[in-house]
Amino acid sequence: MPRVFVVEDEEDISGLIRYNLEKDGYQVGVASSGEEGISKLRPFKPDLIMLDLMLPGMQGLDVLRHLKGDAATKNVPVIIVSAKTSETDRVLGLEIGADDYIMKPFSVKELASRVKAVLRRTAPAPRRQTLRYNGLQIDFDSVVVTVDGRAVHLSPFEFKILAFLAQNPKRAYSRDDILNNVWREDAFVMPRTVDVHIRRLRTLIEKDPARPEYIKTVRGFGYIFNFSPEP
Ligand code: CA
């Protein structure tokens, strides 16, 4: 069930969006100001944000800048919903990183199709049940990891870190990126905790943990998973 968060000060509009999206099976969260939105967004973990530009207090474009500058929200697609018709605002919004723009007033049909289109465009590739990487096999449904056919026992966090990196191979992630993608809850976890888990992961999956082949360190930044899944 996709989760949509709406930042909109006009209650009849946020109500209209909520009503129609909930009817289509979405989970909807609402905030009536930018400040409220920023504080409620993180725990809500939306798949999509709908953002009004003309808000009391913090302006929509500043909210957007904030979201795009925060590792926890920068990858969440944003649809700007606004009556502001100036092309400058629209272009600026898209430049800051919004994915689409809905002009007020909008029809319920347009709302549904834009939301669906953005979610489809930004959805991660469908997850396969089992992935193999150069001797390492990860079964996502049974949560079993084997190295050259031998099962290794990972803690839930270690499995989540490995699964996250392996499903996004050849991309460097900072410790904060990893934390934000692996710890769904708002648990207080220090970025250094990632190092501890990765060190243990390496003793379990690497042939030589001192010269890791699967999870490599990106010096001064974080980690990268080195193999793409085999077809
Ligand atoms: Ca408004």
- The per-residue DSSP string of 79-137 comes to EEEES---HHHHHHHHHHT--EEEESS--HHHHHHHHHHHHHHHPPPPPPSEEEETTEE
- Average pLDDT of 184-202? 80
Condensed to tens digits (0 to 9), the pLDDT of residues 131-179 reads 899 999 999 888 899 999 999 999 888 999 999 999 899 999 999 888 8
**What is the distance in A from the centroid of ligand 1 to the CA of 33?**
9
Q: What percent of the chain has pLDDT over 70?
A: 95
Domain boundary among 88, 122, 156: 122
**What is the distance in A from the centroid of ligand 1 to the CA of 83?**
8
**What is the distance in A from the centroid of ligand 1 to the CA of 53?**
6
Domain harbouring 31, CATH code: 3.40.50.2300
- Is the confidence at residue 191, as pLDDT, over 80? no
How many Å apart are CA 58 and CA 136, to the nearest integer? Answer: 48
Q: Is residue 175 part of a domain?
A: yes
Q: Is residue 82 part of a domain?
A: yes
**What is the distance in A from the centroid of ligand 1 to the CA of 38?**
16
How many Å apart are CA 100 and CA 120, to the nearest integer? Answer: 13
**What is the distance in A from the centroid of ligand 1 to the CA of 3?**
22
Domain boundary among 122, 144, 173: 122
Band of the pLDDT at 187, cuts 50, 70, 90? low
- Is the confidence at residue 201, as pLDDT, over 80? yes
User: Residue 135 sits in which domain range?
Assistant: 130-225
Condensed to tens digits (0 to 9), the pLDDT of residues 30-42 reads 999 999 999 999 9
**What is the distance in A from the centroid of ligand 1 to the CA of 50?**
12
Domain count, the chain: 2
Q: Is residue 231 part of a domain?
A: no
- Is the confidence at residue 125, as pLDDT, over 80? no
Domain harbouring 179, CATH code: 1.10.10.10
**What is the distance in A from the centroid of ligand 1 to the CA of 52?**
6
**What is the distance in A from the centroid of ligand 1 to the CA of 7?**
9
Does the pTM of the predicted model rise above 0.85? no
Band of the pLDDT at 208, cuts 50, 70, 90? very high
The sign of the CA dihedral 82, 85, 88, 91 is positive
**What is the distance in A from the centroid of ligand 1 to the CA of 27?**
22
Condensed to tens digits (0 to 9), the pLDDT of residues 78-118 reads 999 988 667 788 788 888 999 999 999 999 999 999 999 99
Domain boundary among 87, 122, 157: 122
